[in-house]
Amino acid sequence: MSQADKAVVLLSGGLDSVTVLMMAKARGLECFTLGFDYGQRHTAELNAARELASRYSDHPHQVIQLDLGAIGGSALTSNAIEVPTAGVQAEGIPVTYVPARNTVFLSIAMGYGEVLGATHLMIGANAVDYSGYPDCRPAFIEQFEKLANVATTAVDGGASWTVDAPLMHMSKAEIIAAGVSLGVDYSLTVSCYQADSLGRACGVCDACRLRRQGFFDAEIEDPTRYQPGVIPQV
Amino acid sequence: MSQADKAVVLLSGGLDSVTVLMMAKARGLECFTLGFDYGQRHTAELNAARELASRYSDHPHQVIQLDLGAIGGSALTSNAIEVPTAGVQAEGIPVTYVPARNTVFLSIAMGYGEVLGATHLMIGANAVDYSGYPDCRPAFIEQFEKLANVATTAVDGGASWTVDAPLMHMSKAEIIAAGVSLGVDYSLTVSCYQADSLGRACGVCDACRLRRQGFFDAEIEDPTRYQPGVIPQV
């Protein structure tokens, strides 16, 4: 029997990336999950990622400290910018965009993969819900795969990298339906931009609304844990 | 008079990157330097970078905390691996290779550039002295430039990125000669893998030997500050 191919799966603690992890497992890949502590406002998402990895991954979750807040430019890493809760996606680039985030995350995943002998990278990038993010587009994923194939020692040894974003063209409802069929317990995931310390969602931020609409469209009961007294909005 | 184009220059505190900074200045670029605290064994190099930026750059040096040690795989970030001092470059990939280092550094520089409105990235990658490093080759730099041009919001606004490694084909002696002609005081730089807390060099590690040979070949007096009692080797 041949050894399983190894994959580094970016895991945030949110809904999308754990679905990617379960897809990687379903393909028979040996999975190493990687997450980042990059100055998010809350740690609920990081705690969720650890719990998800302990349930579903082959190895303990690895977290890299990365102070992207020092270069500024995003509501997710700066308290000076308000998180949008209007229920309307502004045109253009969302204020929650972290500059070069997916490029940085994939770069570090590539380094981790090189150390592990893993040449599959998997990421929950999605062009449907996040079309404003340049680093969530197919052209970006393709170009990063090309970069990986000139950037690393693994290639000198004859290996070739794949960078896969299996959610790219799926709606939130399709992602949720796929994850449920693969056995994901989404009550363990945190999507909310302003979750409390227990990981309970606010129910009104854009991430909460998008998520709740996904469960509604998938005709699956929303298992999200909300903060007391919250009436979730779509 | 038009506004100067802005550049993000990767600055390590070593000999090469400050030469790149001076080349960028000579081209009339407004320079922002960026360095990384990624678990190096000593902070002398980081202190040197701050000093070099305060002398030669247009803006204070920016340092990003980045714990690459957590993914292992290098003598520069792990005390478990011995720094080579044999005076002989081993074949293949040097043990001091940090997985995906230049990819990670350029990714974060790209994010910083996006925040600043800077679309020039400059890096001291060199294929002559470090031909074993995959991420110091021309193909890598070219591919990263292509990635930048699909990865960022700046491109949607019509900008285009350049990623430049002006030292790529220069010998250490040529780099030193160029830097001296541009006014670099190399006594402020630290190349040594095991410099002391004052930034003084050991004189015997591979980085020290390569540097000293460069001054010798350039027929320029070596201004390096060595630790007391050291007899520098080439």
Q: Which tens digit of pLDDT belongs to each residue from A195-224?
A: 998 999 999 999 999 999 999 999 999 999
Other Cβ atoms within 10 Å of A5 Cβ, number: 15
Using the predicted structure, report yes or no on whether residue B77 has a pLDDT greater than 60: no
CB–CB of A36/A26 below 8 Å?
no
Torsion of CA B153, B155, B160, B163, to 10 degrees: 40
Assess B111–A contact: CB distance below 8 Å, yes or no.
yes
Which tokens in the block code for residue A35?
A: 């997450």
User: B147 contacts in A (CB within 8 Å)?
Assistant: 103, 140, 143-144, 146-147
Phi and psi (nearest 5°) for A104? -65, -45
The band of B100, judged by pLDDT with boundaries at 50, 70 and 90, is confident
CB–CB of B212/B201 below 8 Å?
no
Packing angle, helices A101-116 and A138-151, rounded to 10: 40
Rounded to whole angstroms, how far apart are CA atoms A124 and B65?
A: 25
CB–CB of A87/A62 below 8 Å?
no
Q: Which helix (H) or strand (E) holds B6?
A: strand B6-10
Average pLDDT value for residue range A50-78: 78
CB contact under 8 A, A100 and B140: no
Assess A67–B contact: CB distance below 8 Å, yes or no.
yes
Which tokens in the block code for residue B232?
A: 């520098």
The band of B70, judged by pLDDT with boundaries at 50, 70 and 90, is low
Q: What is the DSSP letter of A226?
A: B
Digit-coded pLDDT (tens) for A88-116 = 334 444 444 567 889 999 999 999 998 89
The band of B10, judged by pLDDT with boundaries at 50, 70 and 90, is very high
Phi and psi (nearest 5°) for A196? -85, 180
CB contact under 8 A, A110 and B98: no
Best residue in A107, A114, A123, A135 for a mutation probing chain B (most B CBs within 10 Å): A107
Q: Where are the alpha helices (DSSP H) in chain A?
A: 15-26, 44-56, 101-116, 138-151, 153-156, 172-181, 206-218
Q: Please tell me the predicted confidence (pLDDT) of residue A129.
A: 64
Rounded to whole angstroms, how far apart are CA atoms B68 and B101?
A: 9
Q: Choose among B207, B219, B217: nearest CA to B232.
A: B207
Using the predicted structure, report yes or no on whether residue B7 has a pLDDT greater than 90: yes
User: B65 contacts in A (CB within 8 Å)?
Assistant: 65-67, 70
Q: Choose among A155, A216, A158, A211: nearest CA to A186.
A: A211
Beta-sheet strands, E only, within B15-168: 30-37, 62-65, 120-122, 162-164
Q: How far is B111 from chain A (nearest CA, A)?
A: 4
Rounded to whole angstroms, how far apart are CA atoms A71 and A99?
A: 9
User: A139 contacts in B (CB within 8 Å)?
Assistant: 150
Average pLDDT value for residue range B32-58: 88
Lowest mean pLDDT among A102-106, A110-114, A181-185, B77-81: B77-81
Task: Give the gyration radius of chain B's Cα atoms.
Answer: 17
DSSP, residue by residue, A2-67: PPPPEEEEE--SSHHHHHHHHHHHHTT-EEEEEEEES--S-SHHHHHHHHHHHHH-SS--EEEEB-
Rounded to whole angstroms, how far apart are CA atoms A144 and B107?
A: 11
Digit-coded pLDDT (tens) for B163-201 = 999 999 999 999 999 999 999 999 999 999 889 989 999
Rounded to whole angstroms, how far apart are CA atoms B22 and B24?
A: 5
Q: Where are the alpha helices (DSSP H) in B57-171?
A: 101-116, 138-151, 153-156
Average pLDDT value for residue range A53-67: 91
Residue B21: C-alpha distances to residues A74, A102, A117, A209 (Å): 28, 27, 35, 47
Assess A131–B contact: CB distance below 8 Å, yes or no.
no
Phi and psi (nearest 5°) for A56? -115, -15
Best residue in A71, A106, A119, A152 for a mutation probing chain B (most B CBs within 10 Å): A71
Q: Which of A108, A134, A155 sits opposite B150 (nearest CB)?
A: A134
Residue type, B6: K
Handedness of CA A61, A64, A70, A71 (dihedral sign): negative
Domains defined along chain B, listed by start: 6-191 (3.40.50.620)
Assess A68–B contact: CB distance below 8 Å, yes or no.
yes
Q: Choose among A129, A111, A130: nearest CA to A121.
A: A111
Q: Please tell me the predicted confidence (pLDDT) of residue B110.
A: 95
The band of B106, judged by pLDDT with boundaries at 50, 70 and 90, is very high
Three-state DSSP state, B159? coil
Here the ipTM equals 0.85
| β-bridge pairing A6-10 and A30-37 | parallel
Q: Which of B67, B112, B155 sits opposite A71 (nearest CB)?
A: B112
Handedness of CA B134, B137, B143, B146 (dihedral sign): positive
Q: How far is A47 from chain B (nearest CA, A)?
A: 18
Best residue in B38, B59, B108, B161 for a mutation probing chain A (most A CBs within 10 Å): B108
Rounded to whole angstroms, how far apart are CA atoms B90 and B228?
A: 28
Mean pLDDT, chain B, integer: 85
Using the predicted structure, report yes or no on whether residue A159 has a pLDDT greater than 90: no
Using the predicted structure, report yes or no on whether residue B109 has a pLDDT greater than 60: yes
Rounded to whole angstroms, how far apart are CA atoms B13 and A97?
A: 31
Best residue in B136, B152, B160 for a mutation probing chain A (most A CBs within 10 Å): B152
Provide the whole-model pTM: 0.87
> Comparing A44 with B86, which gets the higher pLDDT?
A44
Q: Is A206 left (phi over 0), alpha (psi -120 to 50) or beta?
A: alpha
The length of chain B is 234
Residue type, B26: A
Rounded to whole angstroms, how far apart are CA atoms B22 and B30?
A: 11
